[in-house]
C-alpha cells in the first residue's frame, strides 16, 4: 500500500522578519490551496493513502472540503495519530509517525526550520520540501500539483534513487560531547545571552557559522557563504566562517530586502566528517535561521559536517525518470 505524508506548518511564513525586513506573510489560505493541488496530484498517481499532521488551522481538512464534488478521491486520507501541541514539536512527531507508518514519501510545507524538525525523525523516507517560509534554502518553490505528482511516483516505487532522490548534508551539533541537535543548512553562533526572538536579522550579532551549502541567490546567512565559496546541495564540502575585522567585507541579503555589509575575519572550506569548535562563548546557537541553543561560558560546542542528511526528491528529475520508464515499458 503506497502512503504519502503531508506536514503543513501553519506558523511558517509569519515570523518577526515581516517587521524588521521586507518579508511577506504566507497566508494559511494559500497553503490550503497548495495542499488541494497536492492532493489532486497524488490522486492522479493512484497513491492509496495520505497521512497528515493535525494543525490548528486544519489545513488538510479544509483542502479536502474545498474540492469540487465531481472530484471524488479514491485514496484514503487520515490524520497522524499524535497528540498535537501546536508547536514545532508536532512536525517532529508527525514525521516519526509517518516513518513508522510506512510512508514512501513526505511532503512538507514550511521553511528551513520546519524541515529541520522533520529531518530529525523522517529517517530514510524521501522528502518533497515545498517552500512556504522566509529564508528558504532547503525547500524550493514548486507548484503543488507537480509536487504531488513527484511524491506519488516516489511513494509508488517508480523512482527511488539518484538523480531523482538525492542524499543531502547536515550538521550535527555536539554540546559537551553529546549530540543535541542538527541543522540542514547552517549553524550560527550569535553574540546573545538569551534566545528571545528566534529569527536572525542583525549582522552585528554574528560570531561564527558553519554551512552545508550556500549560493549567491540564497536569502539568509547561507548567502554569505555563497559570496565567499559557493557550495551546492551535492558538493562534498561545507564552509566555516568567523566574522569580525578582516580582509573581506561583502554585501549579503541576510533577510528579504535586507542587504547589509558583513565583515569576514577568516573562512575555510570543510571536508565531510570534519568538526568545527565554537570558540566565542557564551553565545546563542541558531540552527537554520532560528535561535535554539544557549551556550554558557563553560560549555564546549562542536559542529560536525556529515553527508547523512535527509533524502530529498528532485521533482523535475523524478517526473522525467518516471516518464522515461513508462515509455520504455511500452516498448
Q: Can you give the pLDDT at residue 327?
A: 76
Q: Are 128 and 15 in the same domain?
A: yes
Res 72 pLDDT > 80: no
Q: Are 121 and 225 in the same domain?
A: no
Full residue range of the structural domain in which residue 140 is found: 3-168+310-329
Total tally of structural domains belonging to the chain: 2
Cell of 181: 541537535
Res 36 pLDDT > 90: yes
pLDDT top residue among 330 and 270 = 270
What CATH number is given to the structural domain containing 76? 3.40.50
Confidence bin at 73 (pLDDT 50/70/90)? confident
Give the list of residues 6+ apart from residue 6 with CB closer than 8 angstroms, or none.
35, 38, 50, 51, 52, 53, 60, 106, 107, 109
Q: Are 85 and 161 in the same domain?
A: yes
Q: Are 188 and 68 in the same domain?
A: no
pLDDT in tens, 131-182: 986 558 999 999 999 999 999 999 999 999 999 999 999 999 999 999 999 9
**Mean pLDDT, range 253-261, rounded to an integer:** 89
Q: Are 177 and 117 in the same domain?
A: no
Res 15 pLDDT > 60: no
Q: Can you give the pLDDT at residue 20?
A: 47
If DSSP states are collapsed to H, E and C, what string results for the chain?
A: CCEEEEEECCCCCCCCHHHHCCCCCCCHHHHHHHHHHHHHHHHHCCCCEEEECCCCCCHHHHHHHCCCCCCCCCCEEEECCCCCCCCCHHHHHHHHHHHHCCCCEEEEEECHHHHHHHHCCCCCCCEEEEECCCCCCCCECCCHHHHHHHHHHHHCCCCCCCCCEEECCEEEEEECCEEEEEECCEEEEECCCCCCCCECCCHHHEEEEEECCECCCCCCCHHHHHHHCCECCCCCEEEEEEEEEEEEEEEEEEECCEEEEEEEEEEEEEECCCEEECCCCCEEEEECCEEEEEECCCCCEEEEEECCCCEEECHHHHHHHHHHHHHHHCC
Q: Are 55 and 72 in the same domain?
A: yes
Q: Are 155 and 183 in the same domain?
A: no
**Mean pLDDT, range 192-205, rounded to an integer:** 71
What CATH number is given to the structural domain containing 201? 2.60.200
Q: Can you give the pLDDT at residue 330?
A: 58
Res 202 pLDDT > 90: no
Q: Can you give the pLDDT at residue 194?
A: 63
Q: Are 156 and 299 in the same domain?
A: no
Instruction: Find the helix packing angle between 144-155 and 315-329, rounded to 10°.
Output: 60
Q: Are 188 and 251 in the same domain?
A: yes
Give the list of residues 6+ apart from residue 127 with CB closer than 8 angstroms, or none.
105, 106, 107, 108, 115, 118, 119, 310, 311, 312, 313
Cell of 175: 554540546
Q: Are 18 and 122 in the same domain?
A: yes
Q: Which of the residue ranges 137-141, 177-181, 197-201, 232-236 would you say has the lowest mean pLDDT?
A: 197-201
Q: Are 147 and 224 in the same domain?
A: no
Q: Can you give the pLDDT at residue 232?
A: 96
Q: Can you give the pLDDT at residue 19?
A: 44
pLDDT top residue among 219 and 122 = 122
Q: Are 266 and 325 in the same domain?
A: no
Q: Which of the residue ranges 9-13, 60-64, 204-208, 267-271 would you say has the lowest mean pLDDT?
A: 9-13
Strand bridging mode 105-110 / 3-8: parallel
Amino acid at each position: 500500500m503506497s502512503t504519502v505524508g503531508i506536514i503543513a506548518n501553519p506558523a511558517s511564513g509569519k515570523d518577526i522578519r515581516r517587521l524588521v525586513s521586507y518579508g511577506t506573510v504566507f497566508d494559511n489560505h494559500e497553503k490550503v490551496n497548495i495542499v488541494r493541488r497536492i492532493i489532486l496530484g497524488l490522486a492522479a498517481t493512484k497513491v492509496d493513502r495520505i497521512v497528515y499532521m493535525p494543525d490548528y488551522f486544519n489545513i488538510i481538512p479544509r483542502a479536502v472540503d474545498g474540492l469540487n464534488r465531481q472530484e471524488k478521491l479514491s485514496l484514503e486520507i487520515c490524520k497522524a495519530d499524535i497528540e498535537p501541541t501546536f508547536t514545532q514539536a508536532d512536525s517532529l512527531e508527525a514525521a516519526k509517525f509517518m516513518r513508522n507508518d510506512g510512508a514512501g514519501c513526505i511532503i512538507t510545507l514550511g521553511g528551513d526550520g520546519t524541515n529541520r524538525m522533520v529531518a530529525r525523525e523522517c529517517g530514510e523516507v524521501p522528502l518533497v520540501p515545498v517552500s512556504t517560509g522566509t529564508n528558504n534554502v532547503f525547500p524550493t518553490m514548486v507548484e503543488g500539483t507537480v509536487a504531488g505528482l513527484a511524491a506519488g511516483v516516489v511513494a509508488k516505487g517508480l523512482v527511488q534513487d539518484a538523480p531523482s532522490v538525492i542524499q543531502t548534508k547536515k550538521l550535527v551539533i555536539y554540546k559537551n560531547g553529546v549530540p543535541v541537535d542538527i541543522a540542514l543548512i547552517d549553524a550560527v553562533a550569535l553574540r546573545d545571552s538569551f534566545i528571545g526572538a528566534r529569527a536572525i536579522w542583525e549582522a552585528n550579532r554574528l560570531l561564527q557559522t558553519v554551512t552545508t551549502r550556500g549560493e549567491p541567490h540564497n536569502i539568509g546567512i547561507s548567502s554569505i557563504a555563497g559570496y565567499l565559496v559557493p557550495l551546492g546541495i551535492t558538493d562534498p564540502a561545507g564552509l566555516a566562517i568567523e566574522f569580525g575585522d578582516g580582509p573581506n567585507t561583502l554585501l549579503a541579503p541576510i533577510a528579504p530586502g535586507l542587504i547589509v555589509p558583513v565583515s569576514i575575519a577568516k573562512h575555510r572550506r570543510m571536508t565531510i566528517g570534519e568538526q568545527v569548535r565554537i570558540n566565542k562563548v557564551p553565545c546563542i546557537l541558531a540552527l537554520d535561521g532560528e535561535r535554539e541553543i544557549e551556550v554558557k561560558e563553560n560549555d564546549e560546542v562542536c559542529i560536525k559536517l556529515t553527508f547523512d542528511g535527509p533524502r530529498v526528491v528532485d521533482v523535475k528529475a523524478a517526473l522525467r525518470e518516471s516518464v522515461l520508464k513508462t515509455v520504455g515499458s511500452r516498448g
